[in-house]
Amino acid sequence: PRPQRPCDAAGQGAAMEGVGVALAWLLLALLSPWGAAGASCPPRCVCASNILSCSQAVLSAVPAPLPRFTAVLDLSHNNVTRLRADWAPGRLAHLHALLLSHNGLSFVSTEAFAHVPHLRHLDLSSNRLRALEENLFSDLAELEVLLLYNNEISSVDRTAFENLARLRKLYLGQNRIARFPLELLRDGSRLPQLALLDLSANRLRSLPVGELQALPAWLRDRLYLHGNPLACDCPLFQLVARGRRRRLSAVMDFQEELRCLLPAAQAPVGILALAGRQPLNCSEAREAVLEGHLGDTVTLSCDTRLRGVRSRHWVTPGGERVLEEGGNGSAALLANGSLQLRALRPEDAGTYACWVAGPLLNETLYVELLVHNFTLHGPHDTLNTAYTTLVGCILSVVLVLIYLYLTPCRCCCCRGAEKPPAPRDDSINSSVLSATPNHAAGVPGEPCRSHSASATGPGQNGRFKVGGTPQPPPRHGPKAQRKVSDPDSVSSVFSDTPIVV
């Protein structure tokens, strides 16, 4: 054979290298999901593995065809104004994140999500949506995060969030919502896994404070209500004040933006500044105070912010620990972590502590129990002091009137036919209420005497005989004249001792 020249050897080496590179690209194409599917990356998009990014591509419609293995589809910052039902003609079983923010989107079909049943993250923020129609998201049974902030939403259909049993975070901030969608939270039946609800910067003027306060603390910790034109009142202040005391994130992170409007004020004021401020003069509310009556059964809630609690136990005011369900005596630990107290006694009053151990943090809650020393439907053990005083005064007046006017003495011992009639100016009032026996209008308070005793003549007790006895000589001074006592007059009922009332 001819000897091989150096140039021929170099050419063969280059050819072999080119074949190796071609085989490598072919192998990568076969292993790549794009090559396996026989699809290409849509124009003006960037494709990486199962991620399809078409952001800022000046698109007016969703590119087609979309690879079926796409897991993340980013269409943000485009001009897709309408999302019709046929935007995904085939079923995208692997798609779990769809980003459509900043598109000027104003219409979303109620069947737009029929082909993406496994979607877990949906971003429709910063668009021009005005209403959430009936059953709009009902096909997204696995959805966990829904972003709808910075739209023009003013109405929310009651069924818009039906079938979202796994939804954990719902962002509705910076919209035009004027009514609080309480149906999203009531009883936890509509969205049982919801842990964050953002309603900030809307047009809410009032809140169902009582029902919001009854929500579990782990939900109130992520209930954002700042930036709304709320009307100031004391229940609203107490709701926010309790959140600050519990250090809830929705209050602690936005204290300056939690503001409300007073009736005559032009500028909003801080809700937390309403304490002691006119005209409301709201009082600080205690965090957890429970009242009961003797014999009642009460339940103390362990309102923790932590989810996924591993263990919890209660400590009574006497230092006794209640660890197991069922408990001992009158205290019982329930399955949901609450403490039930049966047949309340006065010594059950005090501060109870609930110790909670979470997956990452621990928390201690305190509940103050007040036990009134009377039953709820029975009489009080002690009468009110003012009521007792009033009753005593009324009884005293009645007894005095009985003593003055209903005395059963009618001078049955007084006898005689020669008794003259009583003078006209003698009266019951002058004879009974006189402070001294020497009154100018008569002689009140004379004792009731018999005729034989009163006829003993002058010198007997300083009295004169009534029948035919001359008048005593006049005296000098203010009490110069004194009338003769009439034994038969009403003034002779009482003794000579004056009665001072």
Question: Given this model, what pLDDT does residue 332 score?
Answer: 84
Q: What are the backbone angles phi and psi of residue 396, rounded to the nearest 5°? A: -65, -45
Contact 111, 86 (CB under 8 A): no
Tokens of residue 35, six digits: 């090559």
Question: Given this model, what pLDDT does residue 429 score?
Answer: 43
C-alpha to C-alpha distances, 471 to 93, 418, 421, 474, 488, nearest whole angstrom:
132, 17, 16, 9, 19
Question: Given this model, what pLDDT does residue 410 score?
Answer: 55
pLDDT > 60? residue 391? yes
Question: Given this model, what pLDDT does residue 75 score?
Answer: 96
* 321, β-bridge pairs: 315
Peptide bond into 478 cis (omega under 30): no
Q: Judge residue 251's burial from the number of C-beta atoms within 10 Å of its C-beta, 0-12 exposed, 13-18 middle, 19 or more buried.
A: buried
Tokens of residue 420, six digits: 């003259």
Q: What is the pLDDT of residues 45-60, one digit of tens each?
A: 999 989 999 999 999 9
Contact 487, 419 (CB under 8 A): yes
Q: Return left, alpha or beta for 145; rule: phi > 0 is left, psi -120 to 50 is alpha, else beta.
A: beta
Question: Given this model, what pLDDT does residue 215 score?
Answer: 86
Mean pLDDT of 84-101: 92
- For residues 105 and 127, give the distance between their C-alpha atoms in angstroms, rounded to a whole number: 5
Q: Of how many residues is the chain composed?
A: 501
Question: Given this model, what pLDDT does residue 72 score?
Answer: 96
Question: Given this model, what pLDDT does residue 165 score?
Answer: 93
Q: What is the pLDDT of residues 162-220, one digit of tens each?
A: 999 999 999 999 999 999 988 888 766 789 999 999 999 999 999 999 889 888 888 88
Question: Given this model, what pLDDT does residue 58 score?
Answer: 93
pLDDT > 50? residue 500? no
The residue written with tokens 């046929």 in the block is: 86
Contact 418, 467 (CB under 8 A): yes
Tokens of residue 406, six digits: 């209903």
Question: Given this model, what pLDDT does residue 175 score?
Answer: 97
Nearest residue to 432 via CA among 497, 336, 341, 364 = 497
pLDDT > 60? residue 274? yes
Q: 69 or 33: which carries more pLDDT confidence?
A: 69
Question: Given this model, what pLDDT does residue 305 score?
Answer: 78
Nearest residue to 249 via CA among 221, 217, 271, 223 = 221
Q: Is domain 290-372 in CATH 2.60.40.10, yes or no?
A: yes
Contacting residues for 74 by C-beta, under 8 A, at least 6 apart: 51, 52, 53, 54, 55, 99
Question: Given this model, what pLDDT does residue 82 score?
Answer: 95
Q: What are the backbone angles phi and psi of residue 241, rounded to the nearest 5°? A: -65, -40
| pLDDT more than 90, % of the chain | 33
- For residues 166 and 168, give the distance between their C-alpha atoms in angstroms, rounded to a whole number: 6
Q: What is the pLDDT of residues 116-159, one digit of tens each?
A: 999 999 999 999 999 999 999 999 999 999 999 999 999 999 88
Mean pLDDT of 75-96: 92
Q: For the chain, how far is it from start to end, CA to CA, in angstroms?
A: 157
Q: 236 or 362: which carries more pLDDT confidence?
A: 236
pLDDT > 60? residue 35? no
Q: What is the pLDDT of residues 291-336, one digit of tens each?
A: 888 888 888 888 887 877 878 888 888 888 887 665 556 788 888 8
Q: What are the backbone angles phi and psi of residue 451, rounded to the nearest 5°? A: -65, -40
Question: Given this model, what pLDDT does residue 377 score?
Answer: 56
Mean pLDDT of 51-77: 93
Q: Judge residue 182's burial from the number of C-beta atoms within 10 Å of its C-beta, 0-12 exposed, 13-18 middle, 19 or more buried.
A: exposed
- For residues 126 and 105, give the distance between their C-alpha atoms in angstroms, rounded to a whole number: 9
How confident is the prediction for the chain on average, in pLDDT? 76
Q: 431 or 269: which carries more pLDDT confidence?
A: 269
pLDDT > 70? residue 406? yes
- For residues 171 and 196, give the distance between their C-alpha atoms in angstroms, rounded to a whole number: 8
Question: Given this model, what pLDDT does residue 118 score?
Answer: 95
Which of 220-224, 242-246, 466-470 has the largest mean confidence? 220-224
Which of 99-108, 156-165, 206-215, 356-365 has the largest mean confidence? 99-108
Q: Judge residue 488's burial from the number of C-beta atoms within 10 Å of its C-beta, 0-12 exposed, 13-18 middle, 19 or more buried.
A: middle
Question: Given this model, what pLDDT does residue 445 score?
Answer: 45
Segments making up each domain of the chain, as ranges: 290-372
H-type helices in 32-130, by residue range? 33-37
Question: Given this model, what pLDDT does residue 378 score?
Answer: 52
pLDDT > 90? residue 15? no
Mean pLDDT of 338-343: 87
Q: What is the pLDDT of residues 427-479, one digit of tens each?
A: 444 444 444 444 444 444 444 443 433 444 444 444 444 444 445 544 444 44
* pLDDT band at residue 228 using 50, 70 and 90 as cut-offs: very high
Q: What is the pTM of this model?
A: 0.63
**Which of 206-220, 263-277, 335-349, 354-368 is least confident?**
354-368
